[in-house]
Structure formats: C-alpha cells, structure tokens
Structure 1
Amino acid sequence: MIFDDPKITALFEEYQARNAQERSLFNTMMSGTGTVSRDDLLLPVGPEVGAFLHALVLAHRPRRILELGTSYGYSTVFLADAARKVGAKVITMELADYKQAYAREKLAAAGLVDVVEFRQGEAVAMIEADEDPFDLVLLDIWKEVYLPCFEAFYPKLSEEAIIAADNMIDPASARDSVRLYRAAVKAKPDLQTVLLPIGQGIELTVKWSAGNGKL
C-alpha cells in the first residue's frame, strides 16, 4: 500500500468496500434494468490509476493541482496524500454539492483536508475565474465537458504541466466525446501526449516546447 498513514489507509479501504458493494448496482444501471443513476455510484478511477497519479505527483512535484470531478473523493485522496508530501495544493471542482460534501467529510477524517481547496459549481466558469497557473490537471468529469474544460484550462497550464485524462478507452459510450478531446490536444503544437492502457485508459499529456531545452 502506498499510504503510510493508517487513517488514509482506512479511508482507502472504506472506498474499496463501497465500490465492491456497488458493483451489482452498476451492472443493473448499465443493463437498463435498475433504478440507480450514475450519480449515486462511486465510479472510482481504481487503485492502479490512483497509485499512478500518486507517483506522478511525487515525481513531478507540482505546486498547484487541478482535479476536475471531485465526485465522492476517491482520486482526491491519492492526489492529496502526495500533495502533502511535496508541499502542493489540490484544487478540486465538482458540480454536485452533496458529492463534494461527502468527499470533504472523508478527507477531513483522514487528515488531508488542509491541502485541498473545494470549489463547487460549473467547472468551466470556475476554471476561467482562476488567475493562477496549473501544474498538473486530472480530468475525470462528465466526458461531454472534457473539451470545454480543456479549452478553459489550456491557457493556464504552466510550462511542463501535465494533464492526466481518464476514461480514454472505456466506457465505449464516451468515445465520441473522448475523440473530440484527443483531437484538440493533438492540435496543440506545444503538447506531447500518449495513451496509457491502465485502468480505463489514461491520456498523459505534457506541455513542452522546443525552446525550453528539455524533453
């Protein structure tokens, strides 16, 4: 386990237990036979992607991390634990107030809330209102707003900033939106990008230009 704090480990195990309990509900939702909605479910990035994000923060040492899609706080735990270790701040944005309230409560119990700034509302408007650069972005929001979110935060990326976009392979229902996002990324001459087959597919993108003397 990557967490060295027992409170954070306990929270991670709680999230894993909730996800296991909700798998049958997810299956009924996907089949169209259940009454549960996707907003009711955890729908986490999973431990493999979580560990990857944690390692990414430790290696890159960003100052400001933007998480688009707090949801119930699963990925926020990985980002916040790593952020605390490198002296970073996580700005997490979510439309649903009840989801973010749940995440705030869980992270507070785990002792991580001091490195997280919770912002609730419409993502594009909140991104546009932020005047400071972002050094790392996790894009894991509803897929139809990937492109408008990208267009909002792209001008605010710091040099050598990293974007990690989830759900680039699955679910199949999101692929039209994903293709629009990937095409927009590839059209930027200062972005280098690669698709990683971990979890449901992570598109890892780095802002880099020939003038900075680094790869």
Structure 2
Amino acid sequence: MLDELQQANEYIINKIIEKDTLILEMEEFAKENNVPIVTKEVAEYLKFLVDSHNFKDILEIGTAIGYSGTIMGRIAKKNGGKLTTIEIDEVRYNQALDNFKKGDLLDTVNVILGDGTVEIKKLDQTFDFIFIDASKGHYMEFFKDSIERLNDNGLIFIDNIMFRGYLYKEYPKRFKTIVRRLDEFINYLYENHNFVLMPFGDGIGLVRK
C-alpha cells in the first residue's frame, strides 16, 4: 500500500509543469544548496487553497528563500492584501528579499528578521490565512500565538507536520524530542480544534477557525 501511495505521489508530481522562471530558479537554488522548501504537490495545493478562498492578509512563519512566500504573496497582491513573513536566519532573510524583489513583491511583502516565538506576539493585526513551516520543535507555540491572530473562518496550514515520516517509522535518537512534541501537537489539534491531517508531501495539517 505504501509503494502505491509513493507511486501516486510521483505521478502527481510528474504532472505538475512549472513554467515560471523565478519559481524554477528558486527550486534549482534550493536543490543545489539543500534549502528546505515545500514540495511541488504541496506548493500546488497551497496555491489552489489560498487562491480559491481569495485570502488577502497572510502570515507566514518560516520564510527561507521566499519560495512559498512568492506563491502566497502574488495571490495576496492580486487580492489587494499583504503577506507578512518571519525568518530567523539572516542569510535566508536576505535571499528572500532578493527573490521578492525579483518577483516585484516588495510593496506587498513585509519580511521580518527574527524568531517566530518572539515576533508573532508583536503583531497587532489579524490574518485570513497562516502558513507555518519553521522550527518543528516550536510548532505548538507558533500555533497558539498564531490562532489568536486568525480571523473567523480563516485557515492555518501547517507543513511538514509528520517530519520526514519519523512520527510513524524509526528515527535517529537526536530527533526524539521533536517527534514527541509533534505527536503531542497533533493529539492536541485533534482534541481541541477543527483539524484535518493529510499524508501528502511531508504531512499537512489544516485548522479552520
């Protein structure tokens, strides 16, 4: 059954034909420099979800090089909104700024250099959509701070929530704490929120307020 799921996933990925030069450039950079970005099928789903709901004001926790931020920022710009994105690594922060500039998004995207566990608390606005893809060990804290800033009927999209499959298969001992925290986080979401867990990409969690 697992092999069939993997084959289905590969089939979907092979059907996704990307033509945008900036997106392709970022994908190549991420591959060559081992930068974690959302997988192709997750990127497609993210774009479909944000665009279908006409989300305007978006918060992203974990900018990296601006790959998912570019996808969401373009939709926010089209809808007359803005993307606020937080990145803790200064090198990645500057790379993201360069990519947002290339994508003509600097007037639409507010890039914050800092720790999400600190910076989210400083935000004094609310959002229609929140995308979490940063330090896995802090997902619970990111979520609890974020949902306070989510508008009614808004969505939170949590990427990599199954952490390389380590939640259900053998994993290196150094990841024990992260795996335990993510498993506890998933239990918390099921018990307390309108939550769905989907096993594609590296695991996606969706919460609707």
Which residue does 2:117 correspond to in 1? 124
CA separation of 1:19/1:124 partners in 2, compared to 1, >3 Å: closer, same or farther? closer
* TM-score for both structures, normalised by structure 1: 0.78
* TM-score for both structures, normalised by structure 2: 0.80
Partner SS state of residue 113, structure 1: coil
**One of 44, 61, 74 as aligned partner of 1:51:** 44
Query: In the alignment, does 2:21 pair up with 1:10?
Result: yes
Deviation at 1:138, TM superposition (A): 0.6
CA separation of 1:109/1:157 partners in 2, compared to 1, >3 Å: closer, same or farther? same
Query: In the alignment, does 2:89 pair up with 1:78?
Result: no
Amino acid at match of 1:140: D
Which residue does 1:211 correspond to in 2? none
Query: In the alignment, does 2:111 pair up with 1:92?
Result: no
Which residue does 2:180 correspond to in 1? 176
Q: Report if the CA contact (8 A) 1:150-1:181 is conserved.
A: no
Deviation at 1:183, TM superposition (A): 2.6
Deviation at 1:2, TM superposition (A): 8.4
Partner SS state of residue 114, structure 1: coil
Amino acid at match of 1:17: E
CA separation of 1:149/1:170 partners in 2, compared to 1, >3 Å: closer, same or farther? closer
Cα distance in 1 for partners of 2:32, 2:89 equals: 22
Amino acid at match of 2:190: K
Partner SS state of residue 118, structure 1: strand
Matches within 5 A, 1:32-51: 41-51=34-44
Which residue does 2:12 correspond to in 1? none
Query: In the alignment, does 2:158 pair up with 1:154?
Result: no
Deviation at 1:108, TM superposition (A): 0.4
Amino acid at match of 2:122: A
Partner SS state of residue 44, structure 1: coil
CA separation of 1:155/1:110 partners in 2, compared to 1, >3 Å: closer, same or farther? closer
Cα distance in 2 for partners of 1:75, 1:82 equals: 11
Cα distance in 1 for partners of 2:49, 2:81 equals: 13
Q: Report if the CA contact (8 A) 1:58-1:85 is conserved.
A: no
Partner SS state of residue 168, structure 1: coil
Cα displacement string for residues 65-119 of structure 1 (whole angstroms, at most 9, x for unaligned residues): 1100001111111111222222221100011111111011011012122211001
Deviation at 1:18, TM superposition (A): 2.4
Q: Report if the CA contact (8 A) 2:126-2:150 is conserved.
A: yes
Greater displacement, 168-177 / 129-138: 168-177
Cα distance in 1 for partners of 2:39, 2:107 equals: 24
Which residue does 1:196 correspond to in 2? 198
Deviation at 1:158, TM superposition (A): 1.0
Cα distance in 1 for partners of 2:43, 2:66 equals: 11
